[in-house]
Amino acid sequence: MKTNHYQMFLASLFLFAGCKKEQITTSKADFSYAIQNSNFTVPVKVGFVNNSTGADNYEWTFEGGIPSASNKKDPGVVQFDQAGSHKIKLRAWNSDNESVKEVTLNLDSAVNIDFDPVIQTNEFSPVQVKITNKTIGAKSYSWTFEGGSPSASTEQQPAIVNFVDTGYHNISLTVSNGRESFSKTKKIHVSASLQPTFAIDPSFEDEDYEAPLTATLQNTTISGQTWVWSSTGGTISNTVAKTPTIHFDQPGTYTITLKASNGKDDKTSSQTIKVLPNKNLRSFTNIKLGINTAHGTVGSFFSTQLRKTFKATDDLDTAGKYIDVVYFGLNQNFSYNKFLSPDSAAEYTFKAIPQAMHNNVISSQELCGCGSMMSIADFENLGTGADFQNYAIVSSANGRKQFTNTTVPRIVLYKTADGRKGAIKVKQFVANGSQSYIIVDVKIQKTP
């Protein structure tokens, strides 16, 4: 009897021990994840860490991911290229049971921000700008138009924007995909509005505004594209050229008008020019002519046609034929002075003048015996080229003789090879050592 009880006790111990050995192990699926660089805009890389307990086996599912599934305990980094909601599922199990955890990732679309601002017609103020939005992936839009009307917009495709002020203007777009913002700025330029202006620029030969006169119409219009010229007189070389010339045969007062256009505006500008009667006379004052040792600094040659003094260092290959006044001064004491025919310059220490003209010169009227002499008063009263008609300017040995500085002022007469008559008034002798010079006024006919 005792034996049976003991055996029953042992059997119960074994049964208890067997039950304890077959205890069930519970698995629990769990994981955490981190968005790389906290960037939710696709492509997105997500790192997963398995925090499950009690499991021996794992099955991952990454909806829309690369890879899309894994049976590793830790799958590492998964990439998602498409925006939207993605379900992430982890199934973890052992021989006794299994567990599942599921989360949803909401990823933002990639944004490619771009737009084209296109100026309508042209960039002359006022300007209209049409904007084409080429942005991809955005959910909201915020436009700013610097100096524009309107100045801002939240439309995906904004309306026409007007700009008036000249200069550069920023057009900026900020977009959002719901979580991140992206910005881009472009510039447009507005040129000044149409302002027609011009200048009347007489030719070099016609700076005295005497008829016949040819002038260039210097077009300085701002923001113009096409032109139409008209005048109450004269002949315009090309009425639709930007910068034509105009010619007047007769004296008078004329009005010149420019009509300028730029595809938006038409505006006009007018100026008046007074063309004077032709006196056939050119006048020059205070011309300096150096003695022979000052030829390289002050200059001893003068051209009434080119209105320029020439020095020893100047290139006369082209200008030489226009030189009509040549002065030779021997020294600073002005004891020997002559005005020469240009073709005889080489006889008086100067280099020969290329293509030099031959002039009849009367340096010493008092010795010439050549007929009527021109007085200082006569010189001052020369008002037209016709006033020279009473003076026969004929070269003679006595007339070509030198003079000194004892008579001031002195009148020297000359006649060019093409028949133009001229007069020189020597009004001052300036002693300055080797750089001594005289000061003269010159009057000469434009044409014989």
Looking at residue 225, what is its pLDDT?
Answer: 96
List, for residues 108-121, the tens digit of each pLDDT value: 888 999 999 999 99
Contact at 8 Å (CB) between 413 and 403?
no
Average pLDDT along the chain: 93
Contact at 8 Å (CB) between 48 and 79?
no
Query: Does residue 345 surpass a pLDDT of 60?
Result: yes
Q: Where are the domains of the chain?
A: 31-107, 115-190, 198-275, 281-445
d(CA 282, CA 210): 11
- Measure CA 382 to chain center: 50
Looking at residue 264, what is its pLDDT?
Answer: 93
Who's near 331: CB < 8 A, 6+ residues apart? 291, 293, 436
Which pairs with CB-CB distance under 8 Å and at least 24 residues apart come from 335-339?
335/404, 335/405, 336/402, 336/404, 337/363, 337/402, 337/403, 337/404, 337/405, 337/438, 338/363, 338/400, 338/401, 338/402, 338/403, 339/363, 339/412, 339/414, 339/424
Q: Looking at domain 198-275, which CATH architecture does it have?
A: Sandwich (2.60)
Q: How confident is the model at residue 395 (pLDDT cuts 50, 70, 90)?
A: confident
Q: How confident is the model at residue 134 (pLDDT cuts 50, 70, 90)?
A: very high
Stretch 294-302: mean pLDDT, rounded?
Answer: 98
d(CA 28, CA 93): 8
Q: Which of 251-260, 332-341, 387-396 has the lowest mean pLDDT?
A: 387-396
List, for residues 179-225, the tens digit of each pLDDT value: 899 999 999 999 999 999 999 999 999 999 999 999 999 999 999 99
Handedness of CA 247, 242, 231, 215 (dihedral sign): negative
Stretch 326-354: mean pLDDT, rounded?
Answer: 97
Q: How confident is the model at residue 260 (pLDDT cuts 50, 70, 90)?
A: very high
Query: Does residue 164 surpass a pLDDT of 80?
Result: yes
Contact at 8 Å (CB) between 45 and 79?
yes
262: left (phi over 0), alpha (psi -120 to 50) or beta: alpha
d(CA 139, CA 141): 7
Looking at residue 16, what is its pLDDT?
Answer: 44
Query: Does residue 9 surpass a pLDDT of 80?
Result: no
Q: Can 115-190 and 198-275 be said to share one CATH topology?
A: yes
Which pairs with CB-CB distance under 8 Å and at least 24 residues apart come from 212-216?
212/247, 212/248, 212/249, 212/278, 213/247, 213/248, 213/275, 214/245, 214/246, 214/247, 214/248, 215/245, 215/246, 215/247, 215/248, 215/273, 216/243, 216/244, 216/245
Contact at 8 Å (CB) between 238 and 244?
yes
Looking at residue 4, what is its pLDDT?
Answer: 54
Amino acid letter, residue 265 = D
Looking at residue 39, what is its pLDDT?
Answer: 86
Contact at 8 Å (CB) between 47 and 33?
yes
Q: Looking at domain 115-190, which CATH architecture does it have?
A: Sandwich (2.60)
Pairing of strands 281-290, 245-248: unpaired
Q: How confident is the model at residue 22 (pLDDT cuts 50, 70, 90)?
A: low
Q: How confident is the model at residue 369 (pLDDT cuts 50, 70, 90)?
A: confident
Q: Which of 8-12, 222-226, 252-256, 386-390 has the lowest mean pLDDT?
A: 8-12
Looking at residue 10, what is its pLDDT?
Answer: 47
Would you say how long the chain is, in residues?
448
Q: How confident is the model at residue 372 (pLDDT cuts 50, 70, 90)?
A: confident
Q: Which of 36-50, 153-167, 190-204 has the lowest mean pLDDT?
A: 36-50
Query: Does residue 297 surpass a pLDDT of 60?
Result: yes
Looking at residue 24, what is its pLDDT?
Answer: 86
The CATH class, in words, for 31-107 is: mainly beta
Residues above pLDDT 90, as percent of the chain: 88
Looking at residue 14, what is its pLDDT?
Answer: 46
